[in-house]
Amino acid sequence: MTSNTTAFADLMAHQRQTEALGFVAERLGWDQETMMPRGAAEQRGEEMAAMEGVLHARRTDPRIGEWLVAATAPDAAGEAALRLIGRSYARNVKVPADLAQELARVTSTAQGIWAEARARDDVAAFLPTLAEVIALRRREAECLAAGGDLYDALMDDYEPGATAASIGAMFDRMRPRLVSLRERILGSAPQPKALEGNFATETQLRLSRDLASAFGYDWSRGRIDLAVHPFSSGGWNDSRITTRVVETEPFNCFYSTIHEVGHSSYELAIDPDYALTPMGHGVSMGVHESQSRIYENQMGRGRAFTGWIYQEMRERFGEFGINSPESFYGAVNRVHSGFIRTEADEVHYNLHIMMRFDLERALIKGDLAVGDLEAAWNDRFKADFGAAVDRPSHGMLQDVHWSVGLFGYFPTYTLGNVYAGCLWQALRDAVPDVDAALAKGDATPATGWLRENLQRHGGLRSPRETIAYACGFEPNEGPLLDYLETKFGELYGL
């Protein structure tokens, strides 16, 4: 008979290899979006499907169920490991192996098809693939939901415990204050001057590396590359970031970099004792987004740090038409109804997410046909943002998420903003000199507080418990909305 101690050890040894293989599969995805030759897409799809077959078999190994029954955790970390492995096992055994492999193959190939369609503004070229992805994800959701809400089943992959009803209710509470703030800003005068000009690619990339360093990115365990859609990948001792460059829009590069450094720094800061265990990852995408968004927005777009970026840009690019740190702060935080979510200001950003949330819920429920998505997107965008979408790459083709099957992921962006608002309130109370350091290009006091109070704990606690532990209070949308109204009220003299 297997002892409780032996069962726990055997389970963790099995999990360790599964986690390692998961990193290998993730590295294949990183390569696909950064360095893989375009002609290799079909082969990569087969490789990803093969890896998913191996991983699915390991995650549904019947011995896991036996070990979970027999094992006794030696400590709190062990209890968390059993909880997370048990959750993963219960979900994975509901999904047939052939479906898991087909999803991996199709979403791998779909990413390249989306990128080509986006480059050509050709919606028709992407729709058949998107329809296939949605059909597969609906099948998966039906396996997981056990008669419940399909969208909830998908969202649970990214934010355990959250439901469409709870997220929708939060959005309903947030929307009136966001819309009111936007209307007051856009009705004020004068508007801050926008950044204009041409900024050389290599100079942008050199500064983006320095920005990553300012936020403490560990270059011995990371690297930066270019991708169509910026992302971070990996964990433990290998977590990589990507950015993109448009020579007329340097903020795109700089803030994409800072955003991804937030994600990557979270992974790299997790207690090394949790490596190759279920706790060795960010606990949820909402918590993950809290790190990327607080790095990018509260710190990176704050008056203190933008003053430092302003001086760095003048040294590297020379005069560029903005003549003071305060004017530069206004340019960085200029509020306008742009098409692109990743370039949206803090006031508009969550409205982009709310739109996608409603559209993808309708797609998964079957209330919106794939062939009608472009028209539905354009109509909703016109209603929410007051502008007509001029081309598909500024509309439904702009995001990679749906091509790779990430239905249920979008709401975690706004949830991350809400969490970031709570963390920023707690951080400023705990680190009163944070602005003085940021003004010198030093984010260490802020990132050190985040590392100690949140990042190092990985998946030890549930998502909401993770935020509550760091902040000392239950997360809610109030601090974010108060922060936005105070910041933009001062900036626009409201």
Catalytic residue numbers read 260
Question: Would you tell me how many other CB atoms lie within 10 Å of the CB of residue 392?
Answer: 20
Measure the CA–CA gap between 141 and 483, rounded to whole angstroms: 37
Three-state DSSP state, 233: strand
CB 57 within 8 A of CB 104: no
Three-state DSSP state, 243: strand
Residue 63, CB half-sphere, CA atoms under 13 Å: how many? 13
- Which residues are annotated as part of the binding site for Zn(2+)? 259, 263, 289
Measure the CA–CA gap between 253 and 204, rounded to whole angstroms: 7
The structure tokens listed for 266 are 């979270």
- Which residues are annotated as part of the binding site? 259, 263, 289
Q: Which secondary-structure segment (H or E) carries 469?
A: helix 463-471
Measure the CA–CA gap between 450 and 148, rounded to whole angstroms: 36
CB 73 within 8 A of CB 123: no
Measure the CA–CA gap between 263 and 281, rounded to whole angstroms: 11
Q: Could you tell me if residue 477 is left (phi over 0), alpha (psi between -120 and 50 degrees) or otherwise beta?
A: alpha
Q: Could you tell me if residue 226 is left (phi over 0), alpha (psi between -120 and 50 degrees) or otherwise beta?
A: beta
- To the nearest 10 degrees (0 to 180), the angle between helices 4-34 and 97-120 is 20
**Cα radius of gyration (the chain):** 22
CB 177 within 8 A of CB 485: yes
Strand partners, 225: 242
* Alpha-carbon distances of 262 from 19, 77, 143, 244, 258, rounded to whole Å: 22, 24, 34, 16, 6
Residues 6+ apart with CB under 8 A from 275: 236, 237
